[in-house]
Amino acid sequence: MDRLTVSPAFQAMWAKLGLSRVAEAVEKFLPDYQQRRKVTVLPVTLHDGTGRIDAYFKLYHHREGGWRFWLRASKSRIEFKNYEIFQRLAVSAAEPIAFCEERDVFGRLHRDFVLTRAVPGAQGLDEFFQQHPTRSHREPLAIQLAEMLRRLHSANFVYHDLVWRNILVSVTHGSAPKLFLIDCPRGGVTRLFTRRHLFRDLASLDKTASQLCSRTERLRFFLHYVGEKRLTNEMRRMVRACLEYRRTRWPEDWRGR
């Protein structure tokens, strides 16, 4: 029993592909696939009749007969729906193409996939910062990221795994570098949004920022995030609380920074 969902913009193209089941997608995109990993990610190329579309195919393989996702959405479905949320919030992210779940008659999840359009000219944010140490290159991206995160949190959205490897910098000819979010199978909107949710995302970002950025850069990012120009006593308490969350949540990454 398979359940397929395709984004409206890609339905005509998908109809030409004639794929309606996970097994058919695996046969097309992973013809030599042998189940060795729980998650497999592979770049693929699609054709819409007018040109090629570069994409990424992510396949989850679950233990046979497992009940973990019984009556629960798969990671592929969550990620697909989160990309739709990002679009509504005007937050740049990978463009969703399709997802599909393969379940047995009892509703147990066996396999699922999500297909997303590749971000053009992309490289990881950490790689970009390592290659560009000057403020003129870094600060515009820090402002972009702070604005994106503020929009998400204003909508009570928690990313849960907002690390630098899930943030891409798209550098295309004639355009300023632009950030895109990817890989969000655990995030979502929560009704009981608290500061602890906020700290989760901020502290997760700060793990890598503490290694690649100066304290001044990290502080500027926080000021952009809260929309202020100067640090108040309340903001200082917020920064200390965020650092304490990071220290206790990920002690192995803590170096007193």
pLDDT for 33 = 75
Q: What is the rounded distance in angstroms from the CA atom of residue 233 to the CA atom of residue 215?
A: 17
CB atoms within 10 A of CB 108: 18
Helices 195-212 and 233-249, axial angle in degrees (round to 10): 80
Predicted local confidence at residue 228, as pLDDT: 92
* Percent of the chain whose pLDDT exceeds 90: 79
For CA atoms 130, 136, 142, 148, give the dihedral sign: negative
Are 111 and 128 part of one and the same domain?
no
pLDDT of residue 70: 86
Instruction: Indicate if 130 and 238 belong to the same structural domain.
Output: yes
CA-only gyration radius of the chain, Å:
20
Same domain, 54 and 150: no
Residues 112, 140 within the same domain: no
Instruction: State the pLDDT at residue 1.
Output: 85
Provide the pLDDT for residue 156: 96
Final residue in a domain of this structure, among 80, 102, 117: 117
Residue that has been written with the tokens 């147990």 in this structure: 108
Q: Which of 117, 150, 175 is the last residue of a domain?
A: 117
Residues 170 and 229 in one domain: yes
Whole-number pLDDT of residue 36? 66
Q: How far apart are the C-alpha atoms of 119 and 182, rounded to whole Å? A: 9
The number of distinct structural domains making up the chain is 2
In this structure, what CATH number is given to the domain that contains residue 181?
1.10.510.10
**113 and 157 fall within a common domain:** no
Same domain, 126 and 243: yes
Contact indicator for 29, 57 with CB cutoff of 8 Å: yes
Q: Are residues 104 and 181 in the same domain?
A: no
Strand, coil or helix: what is 129?
helix
* Domain identity same for 32 and 96: yes
Per residue in 111-124, pLDDT (tens digit) is: 999 999 999 999 99
Residues 6+ apart with CB under 8 A from 169: 122, 123, 124, 125, 128, 141, 177, 178, 179, 180
Q: Are residues 99 and 72 in the same domain?
A: yes
Mean pLDDT (the chain) is: 92
**Which residues in the chain land under pLDDT 70?**
35-36, 48-49, 64-66, 256-257
Q: Are residues 128 and 180 in the same domain?
A: yes
Q: Are residues 127 and 248 in the same domain?
A: yes
Domain span holding position 34? 2-117
> Locate tokens 């046969």: which residue?
27
pLDDT value of position 21: 96
End position of a domain, from candidates 56, 88, 117: 117
